[in-house]
Structure 1
């Protein structure tokens, strides 16, 4: 994921920009390139009783990555498609929610395993911060080379 559904642009044109487009999108989305799928949809547009060329339109189906990544992805797609000599293209995002998405009949759920992993990650971060503080404290007090009990005894 992301999954790009592309209308109004020929498969040959998309094929010609697919490598640099996918590489750049993978960088913006922080995912492996093989997670990005480009599909060229064959459509027939009709207007005023005539068959007319389909308007270039790219729909991105994905899990939300935030406004900044969405803006970068839209700009990237627009730039690559328009490099084909296409004057105008529209880009739209459709966002999936993990609890409404199934893979092989199994629901991906933010409430399940992901939350457990996030909680474990937070616990490890907290432990790391405590260890860092203890290390800094020991380095500050290490100049005396004496335990605090010995230091207190000598002070008396």
Structure 2
């Protein structure tokens, strides 16, 4: 992981850049170059009933590493592929959540967003309980003050 899926780029072209590209991407991501998976997908593009060359496109499937890393990663892929004489290239990212990605039946980790949401829900529940207690205490105090005032008022009226 990351997993790069090449379309519209010949396998021989990807093979020619695979070593230096994997090394540079690994340095950007802070992982071993062996973790980079490069695959060429055969595609058949059609336009107006004719088979046409596929547009060069690289889809990167990975765990999010932040916008700066993503930009450096895309620029590196672009530079290597366009260095093959390919005039245009698009790179798109598909982000996996660790809790939804499994290897050998085991999740890669917890989803930080889900963990944060659970903590916020627990905190919200505690705040609701605190608010209910405060409302009950205020209502009890108001009732006590009202009954104390009415007995004083009754005493005053009796005199």
TM-score by length of 1: 0.70
Q: Which residue of 2 aligns with 1:128?
A: none
**Cα offset, 1:109, TM superposition:** 2.0
User: Does the CA-based 8 Å contact 2:61-2:96 persist in structure 1?
Assistant: yes
Q: Which residue of 2 aligns with 1:57?
A: 57
Q: Which residue of 2 aligns with 1:120?
A: none
- After superposition, residues 4-23 of structure 1 pair within 5 angstroms as 4-23=4-23
Q: How many residues align?
A: 113
State the Cα deviation string for residues 4-60 of structure 1 (Å, max 9, x = none).
000000000000011110110000000000000000001100000000000000000
How far, CA to CA, are the matches of 2:87 and 2:107 in structure 1? 41
How far, CA to CA, are the matches of 1:111 and 1:60 in structure 2? 20
Residues 111 and 87 of structure 1, relative CA distance in 2, 3 Å threshold: closer
User: Does the CA-based 8 Å contact 2:97-2:111 persist in structure 1?
Assistant: no
User: Does the CA-based 8 Å contact 2:2-2:37 persist in structure 1?
Assistant: yes
Greater Cα radius of gyration, structure 1 or 2: 2
- After superposition, residues 19-38 of structure 1 pair within 5 angstroms as 19-38=19-38
**Cα offset, 1:107, TM superposition:** 1.6
User: Does the CA-based 8 Å contact 2:7-2:54 persist in structure 1?
Assistant: yes
How far, CA to CA, are the matches of 1:45 and 1:82 in structure 2? 20
Unaligned runs of 5+ in 1: 116-156
Are 1:45 and 2:45 matched, yes or no?
yes
How far, CA to CA, are the matches of 2:111 and 2:50 in structure 1? 50
**Cα offset, 1:105, TM superposition:** 1.3
Q: Which residue of 1 aligns with 2:157?
A: none
How far, CA to CA, are the matches of 2:37 and 2:16 in structure 1? 15
**Cα offset, 1:77, TM superposition:** 0.2
Detail structure 1 runs of 4+ shifted over 6 Å in the superposition.
Answer: none
**Cα offset, 1:111, TM superposition:** 5.9
How far, CA to CA, are the matches of 1:83 and 1:97 in structure 2? 32
Unaligned runs of 5+ in 2: 116-159
- After superposition, residues 77-92 of structure 1 pair within 5 angstroms as 77-92=77-92
How far, CA to CA, are the matches of 1:46 and 1:7 in structure 2? 14
